[in-house]
Amino acid sequence: MDIQKEFLAPGTRFAVIGATTNEEKYGYRVLKDLHSGGYKVVGVNPHYSDIDGIAVYPTLADLPEKPDVAVFVVPPAVGLKVLDELKSAGVTKVWFQPGADSDAVRQRITELGLIGMADGSCIMVARRTLQPRN
């Protein structure tokens, strides 16, 4: 739980990899949940520039400010490709939502020396547990 507290500390800046306008998908739900929790959050998806007033950028390299944590809501194969970009962008903390994680993802997180949540934990559940009033 300590790593979750660290990742969800007040003032943490998030980038949601796989943000989408589809309200049924977790790429939308996670983006909106973190935003409603008071965090600074941006989306990463080459198909959008804005989702409900939240800025979205095509790639990590396009972000105007380095996020503290990258949250992945993409298939594991896509996440694996983006992990290498994270390292070069200086992002050291990653959270893979359930379904975005895999053994290969966990292995790559370790190989890159990143701090990662890839154990099936949902960031929205963790946020509500740590900040039940939001």
Quick: pLDDT tens for 73-126: 999 999 999 998 887 888 999 999 999 999 999 999 999 999 999 999 999 999
16 is written with which tokens?
């949601």
111 token code pair: 């190989």
Q: Cβ(95)–Cβ(117) under 8 Å?
A: yes
Domain around 122: 2-130
Q: Across all residues in the chain, what is the average pLDDT?
A: 93
User: How crowded is the C-beta side of 39, counted as CA atoms within 13 Å?
Assistant: 29
CATH number reported for the structural domain that contains residue 48 in this entry: 3.40.50.720
Other beta carbons within 10 Å of 132:
7
CB 105 within 8 A of CB 96: yes
pLDDT at 81: 92
Helix (H) or strand (E) holding 72: strand 69-72
In the chain, the number of structural domains is 1
* For residue 2, pLDDT beyond 80: yes
Q: What is the pLDDT of residues 23-68, one digit of tens each?
A: 999 999 999 999 999 999 999 999 999 999 999 999 999 999 999 9
pLDDT in tens, 124-133: 999 988 875 5
